[in-house]
Structure 1
Amino acid sequence: MSEKNEPGIWQGFKAFLMRGNVVDLAVAVVIGAAFTNIVNSVVKGIINPLVGAIGTKNLDRYSSCLSSSCQGTHGIQLMWGSVLGATLSFVITAAVVYFLMILPMTKYLARLEARRRAREGTREVVEETELEVLKQIRDGLIAQRGSGHNER
């Protein structure tokens, strides 16, 4: 038994897709994929040659053999060079995201918050000032009324 009041599957799916956070996530994934190519190029073009000044230019070639002989596919090799390369890629990506995206956005949002607080503080001061003036007028009127009654 289906109820007519419930939205259909397609309406629910459309509502899900049109929510802001889903669209933002899709944009972030696309930008992240494009950004990955840049980071990989930096690691392969700059970081790997700098590390290669010490040894090989290809970090994937750094490995250690756990068995007595590591020839071809025989033996147990720890490919720690590829882990190092992936770690460098991650650290560079995190640094670029933090320094070029997160830090400026945090500072921008802090400035906006400070401006909002300043506006609210100004409004409160103006409201308090107006309230004080009105209280003084009231007190003055009461004082005049009081002194007028005493003179009669």
Structure 2
Amino acid sequence: MKGFKEFLLRGNVIDLAVAVVIGAAFTAIVTVIVNSIINPAIGAVFNASSLDDALKVDIPTVAGGKPATLLFGAVIGAVINFVIVAAVVYFALVLPVNHLKKVAFERVKKNEEQTPQDVPPTDVEVLLEIRDLLRSQGGAALPAGGGAHVAPSDAPEGPGIAGSTKL
């Protein structure tokens, strides 16, 4: 029962349910537009009451009964219906979502590029820089082991650090 509850509340199921409901409502709107505006306009060109009644082709049957009717107008109406739905979905949903994804991706990428520059150097890196500067100024005054600890009597004379005259 716990797994079923997690499945229902996961979010994907709810998103899918919303999509189905909105899709059904949207399909009703498109169907009304096609049946009320497009079909009569195209049907007028073909002298029919709607596109479903246009471009009918009767095929005689072999037994001489009632002829079969091919409804090319209905097929054209379905294609127009599909193109309208596809255009609205693309321009109202796909295009804006792709734009938002692109903007979000660029923002994340920009933040990733700025992060390494904002990181301050570690204490060890600063100490290594100081050691290298002192070596270049004072020569062999530092012990050969890297100078992990410098006694005040071993340090070179100079302006000093933080107000002292010796290191």
Q: TM-score, normalised by structure 2?
A: 0.69
Are residues 1:125 and 2:117 paired? yes
Q: What's the CA shift for 1:141? A: 3.0
Unaligned runs of 5+ in 1: 1-9
Are residues 1:13 and 2:37 paired? no
Cα deviation, 1:108-151, whole Å, max 9, x if unaligned, reads: 11101111111111112333xx45xx857733432314543536
In angstroms, what is the RMSD of aligned CA positions? 2.8
CA distance in 2 between partners of 1:143 and 1:11 (Å): 65
Greater Rg, structure 1 or structure 2? 2
Percent pairwise identity: 39
Aligned residue number for residue 25 of structure 2: 34
Runs ≥4 residues deviating over 6 A: none
CA distance in 1 between partners of 2:28 and 2:103 (Å): 33
Aligned residues: 137
CA distance in 1 between partners of 2:37 and 2:110 (Å): 46
Are residues 1:87 and 2:79 paired? yes
SS of the residue 1:46 aligns to = helix
Q: How does 1:1-152 map to 2 (within 5 A)?
A: 10-55=1-46, 56-62=48-54, 63-67=56-60, 74-127=66-119, 130-131=120-121, 138-145=128-135, 147-150=137-140
Higher relative contact order (CA 8 A, sep 6+): 1
Q: TM-score, normalised by structure 1?
A: 0.75
CA distance in 2 between partners of 1:94 and 1:86 (Å): 12
SS of the residue 2:140 aligns to = helix
CA distance in 2 between partners of 1:120 and 1:20 (Å): 29
Q: What's the CA shift for 1:19? A: 2.2
